Structure 1
Amino acid sequence: MSSKFGASRLFHTLRALQHENPLGLPRTGTIPRMQRGLPERRPIKDVKKVVAVSSAKGGVGKSTVAGHRTGILDTDIFGPSIPTLFNLSEEPRLSSNNQLIPLSNYGVKTMSMGYLVGEDAPVVWRGLMVMKALQQLLHEVEWGGLDVLVLDLPPGTGDTQLSVTQQIVLDGSVIVTTPHTLAVKDAVKGINMFKKVNVPILGMVQNMSLFNCPHCHHDTAVFGSNERVHKVCSEHNIDVLGDIPLHQSIGDDGDRGKPTVVAEPDSARAAAFMQIAKKISAQIGL
């Protein structure tokens, strides 16, 4: 029988940096300690395919692969966004095996640090605590059988990204960027990181590519020329998976916790998300 997992209990059980169980989960076993050198990559239990999405702050559409059992794991410990974007705020319960049970909405199973702490509560942890919490989110969630799990990575190429790419068997990665020069430069860093850790790059998604004026219906490249993204993809021999337009409804839908593909499934924006999802699905063999 499941037991209630309270956020207050989480913080009452936290100790110093030496604490081996930052999420306060009952433990019937232990996660193997990291050995010297690179750790061995491990699969995530009951998950067939795992895809990492880098620099993706939307959370809308990237996990909607039609016809497949899908989950999304928010690995951003300090700035989780999945609770808002999926309109979920409950506290996860524990299974009989002492595993966290994901929260579901729109047919997608989700897990996020945002479920375990208050919406406005800061996570004031040092790196070691963050890494241990991340390990528990990666390996102590009862997904119940998924065809694909999307790992929503925080921005950048820091400890979290390296830990995920070095410790998890990944079937591929997707890079999301806007056409802005600085964003594209950061996207190149993401490309090089995945290459260094030998994770296949499935392609790049160009977000906020064009704005279509609702009055004159003219397309404007608000963040500059889209050629930058195509040039980078050509130089690194990776695919452009698709373009997501800049549209007010995408932000509004996210604010009210209803993804565009659910709120407006017949819109051109939803079609763009679904086409990208289908391309990713095909590349990983789903």
Structure 2
Amino acid sequence: MNKLISMEKKGELLQVKNILDHGFVELVDVLGSDQAIVNAARTSYDKGTKKVSSTKQLIRYLMRHQHSGPLEFGELVFRIRCPLFVARQWFRHRTGSYNEVSLRYSEATDEYYVPKSEWITTQDRRNRQARTGTVLNDSELIRDEFNSDANDLLKKYNNYLERGVAREIARINLPLSLYTTFCYKSDLRNLLNFLTLRTDSHAQFEIREYAEAMVEMAEKFFPITIQAWRDYMKNSLHFSFPELNVLKKILSEANIDINEKVSEYFDKNKTPSLAELEKIEFKDKIRTLMGDSISLDYLKKKND
């Protein structure tokens, strides 16, 4: 059920993946490509780049240095069906465009989310907003109660409608487990920020399932950009200034000439994962870490 499916619909490529028990992600429309991003970055050269290798190098440079403006020249439109509590987390990202089914105009369906028993786990005491991997002993019983509670609330909702209660009032007691549907449009820059946060292990499991499906779909149309995102955002680490000072102190006390070690490593290993410019930038980072003066302010140098 969770296999990514591609199909033709009204002349447009549509990708669909089922999520959780009643949810899905559909990729409805796409604007742009890796090449379009590069062409936007190179506005002074209207033919863009001619080689795939050049396109790859420039996109990776843009991502590496957080020159994210050209990423806005790629856009994706999704149709999402998810539990209400997932949608409310989603809508906190205010950099996309949304349009959601309204229960003032339509009636609620009887689809609601019931987690698998192995997903019903204990509260994480260190992270107040997360759960652990420890399954509760009575998780099967709790799952049955979740199902019964939601079913009862939906029965009451339908009873309110039968008694003539307006839809906008009848809906107010519906559970957060109820499924909703909405359209979501985002440029690639903001989508990648969303995916960075929502594929992280700290994000709630249910929304991670949707985000990971969207990564797969986006990669079909922006393969170079998504790989660069993985390398420079998703799987990278950020060190604070105090943390860098600790690292510098450890290296200094160990009497390790880290600059020399890095140069020796690059001499012995071609390191295909790092382009030549990246090797230079990496060396500059190490030199900066160890307190060496690195300046690209050439105008100031001339004035001095």
TM-score range, shorter-chain basis?
under 0.3
Q: Which is bigger in relative contact order (C-alpha 8 A, separation at least 6)?
A: 1
- Higher helix fraction (1 or 2): 2
